[in-house]
Amino acid sequence: MVAPLGVGIAGLGTVGSAVVRLIEAQQRTLAERCGRGVRVVAVTARSRARKRGLDLRGVSWARNPLALATDPNVDCFVELMGGADEPALSAIEAALRAGKAVVTANKALIAKHGVRLAELAEAHGGAINFEAAVGAAIPVVKTLREGLSGTTIQRVYGILNGTCNYILTRMEQEGLSFAECLKDAQRLGYAEADPSFDIDGHDTAQKLAILASLAFGTKVAQRAVYVEGISSISPQDLRAAEQLGYRVKLLGVAVRTAKGIEQRVHPTMVPKTSSIAQVMGVTNAVTIDGEGIPPITLVGPGAGGAATASAVVADIADVARGARVLPFGRPVRRLRTTTKAPMERHEGGYYIRLMARDLPGTAATIATRLAEQKISIESIVQRHPDAAAVGNGVARTKSTPVPVILITYATSEDAVHRALRAVQRDKVITGRPQVIRIEKN
């Protein structure tokens, strides 16, 4: 009879508490599936006194995360404290140096230190599992690392931040303002402690950097990801997208191109008919394009205690059953360094919204400047200002700008910027042009 796996949990917040409960509730199933029991033997948290509604009888309390990681009764150290650096980092390093298995949901830490930690795991015969770091309950790490290990991956992209998708969905469906939707996302506990991390795209960038490493065998490098958030997206863009057959999503995209691996996070127009466009609210989705097979899309809850606990417990189960894989699917020495792909070289279709002066020749000037850069226009729409704005007492005069919306065929970002600079010099538009990249499925 194999002894139960001794689990030590550092951090008893929403996720940590959910993990303790899930291990307790799934005891029998875990023992059947893993061939041995899984037992929480020790924990540590900032406050021991806090009421959590957990039954921790027979579980010892460690002084701090480091003491927990080196506790001889702990075979598997589970880090659920968060934070890219201390105290999580030293505790994980200590567990790995002792040859133990580590399970973490900490995307910031894996994005920053994942490669070095994988090296430590390899050197000391331990393991570091991080399924919950990306897409919570969606088993995308395992899918890329194990399920598709015989397939060359061309592109992996998806909705990796529940907060942003929740905001964009409610703005589109209910016409609410960005600020109102963000407030609700915070109230519902989706957003990070500092929500700018979500809305400026950094949370997505960390998750994307991890997925890109697994997909393309590169070293995780957040700095190689181009990042743009969603705060510039207006209800007007969402309405225009809808009328043109698109939806706006904050996507993380990692793609193999002739010039290298492109990793980018930005608001993106996706065709309304695509699988990714159907994903609404806090739900996450990842599409994987592999050579020789149709795309695979995984959809599921990407945030929240129960969803994250599901992935953490699955990682613990792998440790219990002795399933060991290299953290990034290859030995660290085989992972290639990747650099940031210059977005100026990005090629694709574009949505462009300009506030144009309502004068004869304006549309012709815009079309000429685009043609000079060999940009072909798929559609162009000039919209009159909202009736609501006029109703609100905004008198429309000849000088009131009107939105002109263009969809281009594939072109380079550089060409788009050159054309728009020329249009600005022509003084036929006011304000800054809105540019949103289009991703085709």
List 6, 11, 139, 162, residue binding ligand HSE (CB under 6 A): 162
By CB under 6 A, is residue 192 in contact with ligand HSE?
yes
Distances (CA, A) of 414 to 161, 200, 358, 370, 377: 28, 23, 27, 12, 16
In whole angstroms, the minimum distance from the beta carbon of 189 to ligand HSE comes to: 9
Alpha-carbon distances, residue 405 vs 1, 179, 243, 313, 410 (angstroms): 69, 25, 11, 48, 16
Q: Is residue 274 at the binding interface for ligand HSE, with CB under 6 A as the rule?
A: no
Give min distance, CB of 297 to ligand HSE, in A.
18
**What is the C-alpha separation between 75 and 47, in angstroms, rounded?**
24
Question: Of 207, 219, 427, 440, which residue is the catalytic one?
Answer: 207
200 binds ligand HSE (CB under 6 A): no
Told to check if 362 binds ligand HSE by CB under 6 A, we report no
By CB under 6 A, the count of residues binding ligand HSE is 10
* Cβ proximity to ligand HSE, 188 vs 367, nearer residue: 188
Binding part of the chain for ligand HSE, among 173-181, 190-198, 249-257, 342-350 by CB under 6 A, reads: 190-198
> How far apart are alpha carbons 267 and 42 in whole angstroms?
43
Minimum distance, C-beta of residue 368 to ligand HSE, in the bound complex (Å): 43
Gap between the Cα atoms of 287 and 356, Å rounded:
37
Other Cβ atoms less than 10 A from the Cβ of 226: the count is 17
Bridge partners (DSSP) of residue 73 are none
As beta bridge partners, residue 77 has 8, 102
Span from 3-11, 17-25, 158-166, 419-427 in contact with ligand HSE (CB under 6 A): 158-166
Q: Would you give the binding string for ligand HSE spanning residues 294-313, x where CB under 6 A is met?
A: --------xx----------
List CB contacts of 107: < 8 A, sequence separation 6 or more: 130, 133, 134, 203, 206, 207, 210
CA-to-CA dists, residue 52 to 12, 14, 276, 309, 383, angstroms:
8, 9, 37, 16, 55
Asked if 198 touches ligand HSE (CB under 6 A), the answer is: yes
| 207 is known as an active-site residue | yes
Q: Taking CB under 6 A as the rule, does residue 190 contact ligand HSE?
A: yes
The DSSP result for 69-136, as a single string, is HT-TT-SEEEE-S--SSTTHHHHHHHHHHTT-EEEE--HHHHHHHHHHHHHHHHHHT-EEE-GGGTTT
Q: Contacting ligand HSE (CB under 6 A), which of 66, 95, 191, 212?
A: 191
* Cβ closest to ligand HSE, residue 300 vs residue 349: 300
Among 17, 161, 218, 310, binds ligand HSE (CB under 6 A): 161
Q: Binding residue for ligand HSE (CB under 6 A) from 200, 203, 262, 318?
A: 203
Binding site for ligand HSE (CB under 6 A): 161-163, 190-192, 198, 203, 302-303
- Supply the residues annotated as catalytic: 207
